[in-house]
């Protein structure tokens, strides 16, 4: 654990002083992931917004407050999961990150996942979903096709379940998506967590009762 913590601190330092793409010129500060590095659940978003850029932590603005409620729906505490983004610096005017920016940050995300070794990753939004699908060598079609599906992913020395859903910010702009997001967290994500918990303990007769 000590070695893992040291490597993580090195990663955070590298992210904070990164100048690999033009986003470093307009940021207030880079935003590394946040949460316990011994967790088995990781959530990956798109990029920091204004509040995140100011505070240096992911999902602390309006989308973050909604994410906290979604985590509660899935039976999760925010303090028990690791939350990060594909891109670690805020794109100007909250635009979508460009391909070169995603590519520049890709190694940071890989290092985060390699250190944490999660068993379940929730991709929040199209950018995160596409990035993680491609990282695992899976063909990406679109978010409507991927959303709600649980796929087995393998990349380098990692094996994990991946679920794609909408980004919480999308539900702020389009309230009709909120019920869809809540359903994903209540059903697909919560069920994946329950299945994983069962594999970690010895099954009893209660697991087979109807």
Q: What are the tens digits of pLDDT across the range 46-73?
A: 999 999 999 999 999 999 999 999 999 9
Structure letter (DSSP) for residue 33: -
pLDDT at 205 over 50: no
- What is the pLDDT at residue 196? 75
Mapped onto helix, strand or coil, the DSSP state of residue 45 is: strand
Residue 132, CA atoms < 13 Å, CB-side half-sphere: 36
- What is the pLDDT at residue 198? 67
- Region 27-36: mean pLDDT is 97
- Region 193-203: mean pLDDT is 67
- Between CA 190 and CA 183 the distance in angstroms is 10
- Domains in the chain with CATH codes: 2-203 (3.40.470.10)
């Amino acid at each position: 654990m000590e070695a893992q913590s040291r490597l993580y601190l090195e990663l955070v330092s590298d992210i904070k002083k990164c100048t690999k793409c033009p986003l470093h010129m307009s940021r207030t500060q880079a935003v590394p992931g946040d949460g316990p590095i011994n967790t088995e659940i990781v959530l990956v978003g798109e990029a920091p917004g204004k509040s995140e850029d100011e505070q240096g932590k992911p999902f602390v603005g309006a989308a973050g407050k909604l994410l906290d409620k979604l985590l509660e729906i899935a039976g999760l505490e925010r303090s028990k999961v690791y939350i990060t983004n594909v891109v670690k610096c805020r794109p100007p005017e909250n635009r979508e990150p460009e391909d070169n920016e995603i590519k520049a940050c890709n190694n940071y995300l890989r290092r985060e996942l390699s250190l944490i070794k999660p068993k379940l990753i929730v991709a929040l939004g199209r950018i995160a979903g596409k990035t993680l699908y491609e990282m695992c060598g899976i063909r990406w079609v679109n978010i409507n096709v991927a959303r709600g599906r649980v796929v087995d992913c393998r990349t380098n020395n990692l094996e994990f379940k991946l679920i794609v859903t909408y980004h919480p910010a999308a539900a702020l702009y389009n309230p009709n998506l909120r019920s869809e997001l809540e359903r994903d967290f209540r059903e697909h994500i919560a069920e994946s967590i329950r299945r994983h918990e069962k594999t970690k303990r010895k099954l009893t007769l209660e697991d087979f009762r109807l």
